[in-house]
Amino acid sequence: KVRIGRVAAILVGLVAIGLGIVFERMNVNFLVGWAFSVAASANLPALVMLLFWKRTTKQGIVASVLAGMVSSLAWILLSGDTFKDVYGLSPEMSPVPFSQPGLVTIPLSFIVLILVSLATQKRVGLPGER
């Protein structure tokens, strides 16, 4: 367990350094907004539904966190600001209409959690059924 933790810490550090190099020309305030958007997309639906919806399942939470994180990171990489500041391309070439992913990815994460939780409910049989 300790070895896995060390390897994970090194990998996270290397990814952070790589992203820092790639996004060096971007405004720090904008990057912080993106970080909060990714965190909200990954965590908010799981926390809210775990507290307030008794049919939430472990599989639903995992799927929601992954969907929120992946979709918000993809949205950021496809945004006009990233096209302009990182890729050196025209922002009009961007396939997404705005740069803040949370407006789309947080509801998407809620939907994924609900659908996966409903699909992975434990079936409760009637008395006398096998």
Reading the chain (130 residues) residue by residue, the pLDDT tens digits are 788 889 989 998 898 888 788 778 778 887 888 889 999 999 999 999 999 999 999 999 999 999 999 999 999 989 998 898 888 899 999 999 888 899 999 999 999 999 999 999 987 666 665 5
Which residues, other chains included, contact 68 with Cβ-Cβ below 8 Å and sequence gap of 6+? 38, 40, 41, 42, 43, 44, 45, 105, 106, 108, 109, 112
59, two tokens: 């599989």
| pTM confidence score | 0.78
Domain parsing of the chain, residue ranges: 27-119
